Structure 1
Amino acid sequence: MTAVAVTGLGLITAAGIGAQATWAGVCSGRSAARRDPQLAGLPVDFSCTVPGFEPAVHVGTRSRLIHDRFVQLALAAAREAVADAGLDPATWDGARVGVVVGCGLGGVSTWERQQRVMMETGPGAVSALLIPMLVPNMAAGNVAIDLKATGPNFVTATACASGATALGAARDLLLAGRCDVVLAGGSEAGVSPLIVTGFAQMGALSRRRDDPGAASRPFDADRDGFVIGEGSAILVLERESDARARGARVRARFAGYGASADAHHLTAPDPQATGVIRATREALREAELAPEDIDHVNAHGTSTPLNDEIEASALGTLFGAGPAVTSTKGVLGHTLGAAGAIEAALSVLTLEHGTVPPTANLDCQDPKIELDVVHGRPRHGHLRAAVSNSFGFGGQNAVLVFTAA
């Protein structure tokens, strides 16, 4: 099968602006969670938001007026990724460049803000840009406008698997010959009072208000829910032969993709993890790898009691105790539709650096979780292949396999 290469990365997360800052943050093992003024007075009043992100500085002076934050984050990540890949939108054939971005929610902050405007001031005060600011497809649409990419353009919405699904769809575009370059990833800015309250009402969020930095604790015996976050990751994907021909640096190979549906429950994972196991086996089959070839798993690892236990059971069935497992949500929180793309980018960096970041706040591993979960400090070694897992409400499963370049 034709190899797909990752040639560029862009990352905007709670650990910092840019891939280098994010990598340093996740390797530190220190949580980015902190009290959030916009959530003051709510039962859960902390989050993982991007520090120091200024739309006027990082995107452009008009951005505050025409873009929701989820689009702003995507634009910043996409620009970094394209520059990292050594590509120039002024000279590429835009018709051969696709954009696929995962997003689970869209412009929720714009929606909430404009609803308040209508209720307090009247319909005449509502922004004429309300709709183009909030609809999820504008993450991909605005990236295309900004970078003159006129090929296939769409958003995937598979809840918290959206970013990984986007990468899988982008890979299919390259293998089908429909594009020569695809900018693929995810973006989400869902930290708003209504969304946080909705998750809190479900019992999905940690209530550790006295110590937000210790709240996200994947695989820990004392975990009690996730910390909501925001961010974006965009990866530049090309056929490896094309990338080599233009002298590009290949950061890793995107070797396999598997997807499935649990068809089990609105929000709870299938206790038997049948869909997860099937998606992983499909990704391995496509990558032409056996379970023993996998050295690392970037787990979905949300820090919720049920998800972590069932994912661990699936990983044990698939891989035994072999691969070094981590969940970077301990540092970054759960970025919802962007999570799969952020974790894919971190999987690429893990292979590239031969370093597995630690799982933050793992003080006492749940005895039911019989995995080799990296914690305390990064682990260094030769890494050949990595799996990145993403799962979402509705039973959405997306599994990615990357191999070292």
Structure 2
Amino acid sequence: MPIPPADILGIGAVSGYGWSMDDLWSGLLSGSTSAEAHVGLGGRFPDPCWLARIPEGGDPEAGTTRYARAVTAAADEAIADALGRGWRPGERVALLYATTGGDRERWRQRYLEPEPDNPRRRFVEQVWTTPAARVIERYQFHGPSLVINAACTSGLHALAIGQRLLATGDATDVVVVSGDVGFDGEEIRAFASLKALVYDAPPSEVCRPLRGGTRGFVVGEGVAALVLAPARQPGTEGRIRLLGSALGNDAYHPVSIEPSFEYLIRTMDTALGHAEVTREDVDFYVAHGTGTAQCDEADTAVVEHLGKQSVAYCFKAMLGHTMGTAPLLETVITARAYSEGLLPATAAEAEAHPQLARGPMTHPGGVTAQLGLGFGGNITTAVYGDVD
């Protein structure tokens, strides 16, 4: 049964490129990754450590850490963008916040600086509900608020849940925010032991999704935000339409993908059904694109299932893998690509999959399908199209 479509009216982002959507866009068009080799990060960080790290910045009033300030900055940008496109918040604006962890910087301070000047403030800032609560208070939103963790598909999971809140009437509008900032050395070393994360080489040598020689990803930090509202509201100018979405799980393994990809493809077909389009209608495919061997096989299976007309792209080599925020960052990039008529795809070599975009290209609109995968077997798919 179709789920009513929704329009993405506003977008915002903070990334390794800087503190705005414009910084992200110009960074992608530059063709240079936002990851750098960092030295002297302290603690148990590898030294040097390749990381796409959000630079210092943001509004000091929004919080004492980059994490807190970045969440507020991305939400502010998305809301301002939506207001500029004619959005008028309804009575029950929901706030869905997706993340794979709380304020890691604050958690580290909890153990490395056990006697803070203001323990109450430090405790409140490290609670995982606080970033969303600050945005809600700032704008006086009174719809439901959820913190969503579906591992590395968390941001796309939140978007799909947002579409359902609108469909049921539990929310008049939805602000979706996803943030993962402040990874520590222990986490990076532990993830590297799974042979997925690589910290001692640049993304150009490591993360090559749908290309030869790929072996994993470099980690990144990022926050993405968007405003979702029922489609075709009078006076609004949406950037892109969310036609359909679906949630699933392969029920296979805590950290591996079920090798037949049956449930992954089934979830994609469910989203296409909700969107009332066929796989032959899909012009673009946003790959999960972590660069691991398993993910590459999964993305290849989906590309082949969709058909030879689909152009594939992904951005983790440029942004680093920003965990739960990664798919939502790719959603806001896709939304801007529709608005700009330009897709800032990463350059690819001859040995790449024949359907992988070879570099920046004209974006004529059409239908886009997106895949998100997360530890624990989590699967999310979404389908986008042009705004009427």
2:78 pairs, out of 81, 85, 109, with 81
Deviations 1:322-361 (A, max 9, x none): 211111111101100111211111121222233333235x
2:30 pairs, out of 18, 28, 51, with 28
Deviations 1:352-385 (A, max 9, x none): 233333235x43536xxx450113x212142211
Partner of 2:222: 231
Question: For the residues of structure 1 that align with 2:384 and 2:62, how far apart are their CA atoms?
Answer: 38
1:98 maps to amino acid: A
Question: For the residues of structure 1 that align with 2:5 and 2:78, how far apart are their CA atoms?
Answer: 20
Partner of 1:329: 316
Question: For the residues of structure 1 that align with 2:385 and 2:252, how far apart are their CA atoms?
Answer: 32
191-200 vs 323-332, which deviates more?
Answer: 191-200
SS state at 2:298 partner: helix
8 Å CA contact 1:312–1:371 kept in 2: the answer is: no
Is 2:89 the counterpart of 1:107? no
Pairwise CA distance, 1:114 = 1.4
2:107 maps to amino acid: W
User: Residues 365 and 191 (structure 1 numbering): CA distance in 2 closer, same or farther, change over 3 Å?
Assistant: farther
Question: For the residues of structure 1 that align with 2:162 and 2:363, how far apart are their CA atoms?
Answer: 30
Question: For the residues of structure 2 that align with 1:17 and 1:248, how far apart are their CA atoms?
Answer: 26
Deviations 1:183-242 (A, max 9, x none): 013111142212212211222112543x45544322222122111011111111111233
Partner of 1:49: 53
What 5-or-longer segments of structure 2 have no aligned partner?
none
8 Å CA contact 1:296–1:383 kept in 2: the answer is: no
SS state at 2:77 partner: helix
2:303 maps to amino acid: L
1:152 pairs, out of 144, 151, 164, with 144
User: Residues 332 and 124 (structure 1 numbering): CA distance in 2 closer, same or farther, change over 3 Å?
Assistant: closer
Once the two structures are superposed, the pairs formed by residues 165-314 of structure 1 within 5 Å of their partners are 165-209=157-201, 211=202, 214-242=205-233, 245=234, 247-314=235-302
8 Å CA contact 1:259–1:397 kept in 2: the answer is: yes
SS state at 2:296 partner: helix
SS state at 1:129 partner: helix
What 5-or-longer segments of structure 1 have no aligned partner?
none
SS state at 2:257 partner: coil
Pairwise CA distance, 1:264 = 0.6
134-143 vs 289-298, which deviates more?
Answer: 134-143
Deviations 1:118-154 (A, max 9, x none): 3xxxx67783334422232223222212221121111
1:116 maps to amino acid: L
Number of aligned pairs? 381
2:251 maps to amino acid: A
SS state at 1:21 partner: helix
Question: For the residues of structure 1 that align with 2:283 and 2:327, how far apart are their CA atoms?
Answer: 19
**Percent pairwise identity:** 26
SS state at 2:175 partner: strand
Partner of 2:355: 372
Pairwise CA distance, 1:72 = 2.2
1:393 pairs, out of 375, 380, 385, with 375
Question: For the residues of structure 1 that align with 2:169 and 2:62, how far apart are their CA atoms?
Answer: 36
User: Residues 29 and 62 (structure 1 numbering): CA distance in 2 closer, same or farther, change over 3 Å?
Assistant: closer
197-206 vs 128-137, which deviates more?
Answer: 128-137
8 Å CA contact 2:286–2:370 kept in 1: the answer is: yes
2:360 maps to amino acid: P
2:216 maps to amino acid: G
26-35 vs 222-231, which deviates more?
Answer: 26-35
Pairwise CA distance, 1:116 = 1.2
8 Å CA contact 1:186–1:340 kept in 2: the answer is: no
Pairwise CA distance, 1:27 = 3.0
Question: For the residues of structure 2 that align with 1:305 and 1:105, how far apart are their CA atoms?
Answer: 25
1:135 maps to amino acid: V
User: Residues 221 and 39 (structure 1 numbering): CA distance in 2 closer, same or farther, change over 3 Å?
Assistant: farther
Partner of 1:340: 327
8 Å CA contact 1:357–1:374 kept in 2: the answer is: no
Deviations 1:251-289 (A, max 9, x none): 111111111101111111111112211111111011101
Question: For the residues of structure 2 that align with 1:220 and 1:69, how far apart are their CA atoms?
Answer: 34
Question: For the residues of structure 2 that align with 1:29 and 1:293, how far apart are their CA atoms?
Answer: 29
SS state at 1:198 partner: helix
1:201 maps to amino acid: S
Question: For the residues of structure 2 that align with 1:92 and 1:221, how far apart are their CA atoms?
Answer: 47
Pairwise CA distance, 1:25 = 1.9
Partner of 2:112: 116
Question: For the residues of structure 2 that align with 1:157 and 1:135, how far apart are their CA atoms?
Answer: 14
8 Å CA contact 2:39–2:47 kept in 1: the answer is: no
1:217 maps to amino acid: R
Question: For the residues of structure 2 that align with 1:342 and 1:308, how far apart are their CA atoms?
Answer: 19
